[in-house]
Amino acid sequence: MTKTKKASLALLFLWFCVVIWAAFFYAPKAAGFKGESSRIVFFHVPQAWVAVLAFCVNLVASLRYLRHRNLLDDARAAAAARLGLLFAVLATVSGSLFAKVMWGSFWNWDPREVSIAILLLIYAAYFALRQAVSDPERRGSLAAAYAILAFVTMPFLVFVVPRIYWSLHPDTIISAQGSVKVQMHPRMFQVLVGSLLGFTGLFWWLYSLEVRLSRLRLRREEGGE
Amino acid sequence: MNLLIESFTILRKELTSELRSRVAVSSVGLFALTTLVAVAYQIGPYRIHEQDRPHLHAALLWIIVFFAASSGLPRVFVKEEDAHTAKSLRLAARPGAVFAGKFLFNLVLLLGLEAFLVPLFAVFMGFSVANLPALVLVLVAGALGLASSATMVAAIISRATGSATLFVVLSVPLVLPMLVFLIQGTRTAATVPELSALLPSLRAVVSLTGVTLVSSAFLFPVVWHD
């Protein structure tokens, strides 16, 4: 590992230590929430954000695969989907814990809960498809086509469903008029942004590890070992 | 040859082939009938409270339509791979025409299924409708939406393993948002006489169908030729 990578990793570790400390001791409790339950927002929202970010990375890698037919792009798409699935599960679990505390039930069929459940199903279906095809090139193109098709339904899940159905979740920070409307204590907002950056960094680190591993696997396969 | 004519030629071929074998029609029809009888026997028109009827009827109707359709919709591509006719079809027609022809066949199949199922569902389940034209609109939009997603997924699974299980696994996450809007629309048609009440659900279904069709048209050549 190079010195820059070691330093980045150490920085990421320190960043998370600060975020965790700030989430519990720097940010105040939010009004209208039971006990300390509002603090989960510093972890739940970034997990959901990373799940969606991974879906976007999966889309870009899938498009690149269809354009260049490079198996490494297919491996990049699969790595992003794997991490997206992991973070979607984490967001679902942390959201369920919050729902139990706030609303008395782990699952309430809220539109945003349905959205994340469908996102989990899409990721699971993506891997079911990958496992069903043995030829690597055909697997790459079919998985890429499915990923792109699945991605186009995302805006409907994220933006349309919560606007048609009543939701337990707070409104999005982007209003229908397109203006940003943050109703959060400045300290809470700072911690949330810090956590978003930290989780994004964590995703990129895990993603780069996955891609390096895939590159080595592809090289070994090309070498006929 | 014009793309439109080519597409209708594929549709005619599909209809002729289906009229000879009747595999898709009988599997879809029998699946729908069996499921409806099972649901109606267990639940029927009287075991649901009056105020819950529109919600449950709308959900049950679309569950039966989707799963009955799942038994027949993937056949359009799977049968070409099974009969080893896919290569000839690749040479004979452009990918756009193949997709359009197969999509139109699935649309006809779905509209036929709805025409057969919905009156029986109304009789067996006591399903009453406040606005019939609104229900017809939802059913047509639903057939368009389900046919667009199902045709593309059918093409994908025919190039993978061709299994019906994989079709359901891949199509459920894609059609779930659409089913949510369709169930909402059906419930509205069953309870609200004004057509304007249907617009939010209808707009969502039509836009989702449009987006799916456009992306499928771009992606189909990749799936078909790889």
Q: Which of B200, B208, B226 sits opposite A156 (nearest CB)?
A: B208
pLDDT at A182: 54
**What number of other Cβ atoms are within 10 A of residue B21's Cβ?**
11
Please give the single-letter amino acid code of residue B129.
V
Residue numbers in B near A156 (CB within 8 A): 177, 204, 207-208
* Domain residue ranges of chain B, discontinuous segments joined by +: 3-225
Inter-chain touch B160–A142, beta carbons under 8 Å: yes
Assign 3-class secondary structure to chain B: CCHHHHHHHHHHHHHHHHHHHCHHHHHHHHHHHHHHHHHHHHCCCCCCCHHHHHHHHHHHHHHHHHHHHHCCCCHHHHHHHHCCCHHHHHHHCCHHHHHHHHHHHHHHHHHHHHHHHHHHHHHHHCCCCCCHHHHHHHHHHHHHHHHHHHHHHHHHHHHCCCCHHHHHHHHHHHHHHHHHHHHHHHHHHHHCCCHHHHHHHHHHHHHHHHHHHHHHHHHHHHHHHC
Tell me which residues of chain A have a pLDDT lower than 50: 173-178, 180
Best residue of B158, B166, B174, B211 to probe chain A, by most A CBs closer than 10 Å: B174
Closest among B110, B186, B116, B185 to B154, alpha carbons compared: B110
pLDDT at A13: 93
Inter-chain touch B219–A148, beta carbons under 8 Å: yes
Distance (Å) from the C-alpha of residue B19 to the closest C-alpha of chain A? 31
pLDDT at A21: 94
Best residue of B148, B156, B203 to probe chain A, by most A CBs closer than 10 Å: B156
Residue numbers in B near A84 (CB within 8 A): none
pLDDT at A111: 78
pLDDT at A115: 81
Residue A114 touches chain B, beta carbons under 8 Å: yes
CA distances (Å), origin A186, targets A32, A43, A174, A192? 17, 17, 17, 10
pLDDT at A80: 96
CA neighbours closer than 13 Å in the CB half-sphere of residue A180:
2
Q: Could you give the CA distance from residue A94 to residue A87 in angstroms, rounded to a whole number?
A: 10
pLDDT at A178: 47
pLDDT at A118: 84
- The 10s digit of each residue's pLDDT in B38-92 is 999 888 878 888 888 889 999 999 999 999 999 888 888 988 888 888 899 899 8
For the purposes of burial, counting CB atoms within 10 Å of the CB of B49, is it exposed (0-12), middle (13-18) or buried (19 or more)? Answer: exposed
Q: Which of A125, A138, A161 sits opposite B226 (nearest CB)?
A: A138
Residue numbers in B near A149 (CB within 8 A): 149, 152-153, 174, 212, 215-216, 219
pLDDT at B171: 92
Distance (Å) from the C-alpha of residue B107 to the closest C-alpha of chain A? 19
Phi then psi for A172, rounded to 5 degrees? -70, 160
Q: Could you give the CA distance from residue A208 to residue A109 in angstroms, rounded to a whole number?
A: 35
pLDDT at A45: 92
pLDDT at B1: 63
pLDDT at B37: 93
Does the structure's ipTM exceed the value 0.90?
no
Q: At what angle do helices B23-42 and B95-125 cross, to 10 degrees?
A: 30
B156: closest chain A residue by CA: A142
Query: Within chain A, how many helices (H) and strands (E) appear?
Result: 7, 0
B219: closest chain A residue by CA: A145
Tell me which residues of chain B have a pLDDT lower than 70: 1, 162
pLDDT at A5: 83
